[in-house]
């Protein structure tokens, strides 16, 4: 019987895309996929932390900068680790996503409607530009004004 959800290949692909393009690429996954991906990313983090702890043990005489001495050695290696610095934001994002703390992104069609309903330009700016354009396009001043106010041609 196949377990529902993402395959190992799917998880690798999602993780790779999140590393390459940023966590926003994960906006369209559902909660079950987020749980699986978080578990996958946590395993990567755990493996990396284990490796970093091994480095600390193997290099007891390493000359750490002052702020990383006396118990802060792991922090030093976390800052040096690209795997840690790439994976930690993914885990944090997925935690927020799963806990419901993320805002639902506006879909493209909704954002287009909002942009048309709320023009980018302020009224006095539109009037000023329209007055300048009237000089050059006197027969089309009403159409130009409409374009600025509605965003539609």
The pTM (predicted TM-score) of the whole model is 0.61
**What is the residue extent of each domain of the chain?**
8-99, 108-150
Q: Strand, coil or helix: what is 105?
A: coil
Residues 123-146, mean pLDDT to the nearest whole number: 62
Write down the mean pLDDT value for the chain: 78
pLDDT at 27: 83
pLDDT at 102: 59
Q: Strand, coil or helix: what is 65?
A: coil
**Type and span of the H or E element at 16:** helix 8-21
Of 106, 88, 77, which is closest to residue 15 (Cα–Cα)?
A: 88
Q: Which two tokens stand for residue 105?
A: 């992104």
Residues 96-123, mean pLDDT to the nearest whole number: 55
Residues 76-89, mean pLDDT to the nearest whole number: 94
pLDDT at 150: 62
Mind listing the pLDDT tens digit for each residue in 28-75? 888 889 999 999 999 999 999 999 999 999 999 999 999 998 889 999
Give the confidence band of 142 by pLDDT, cuts at 50, 70, 90.
low
């Amino acid at each position: 019987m196949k377990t529902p959800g993402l395959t190992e290949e799917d998880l690798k692909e999602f993780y790779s895309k999140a590393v390459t393009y940023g966590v926003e690429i994960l906006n369209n996954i559902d909660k079950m996929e987020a749980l699986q991906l978080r578990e996958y990313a946590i395993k990567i983090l755990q493996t990396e932390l284990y490796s970093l702890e091994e480095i600390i043990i193997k290099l007891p005489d390493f000359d750490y900068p002052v702020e990383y001495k006396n118990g802060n050695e792991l922090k030093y290696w976390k800052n040096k680790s690209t795997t840690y610095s790439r994976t930690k934001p993914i885990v944090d994002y997925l935690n927020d996503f799963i806990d419901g703390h993320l805002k639902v992104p506006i879909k493209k069609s909704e954002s287009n409607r909002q942009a048309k309903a709320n023009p980018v330009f302020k009224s006095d700016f539109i009037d000023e530009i329209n007055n300048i354009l009237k000089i050059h396009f006197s027969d089309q001043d009403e159409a130009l004004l409409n374009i600025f106010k509605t965003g539609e041609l």
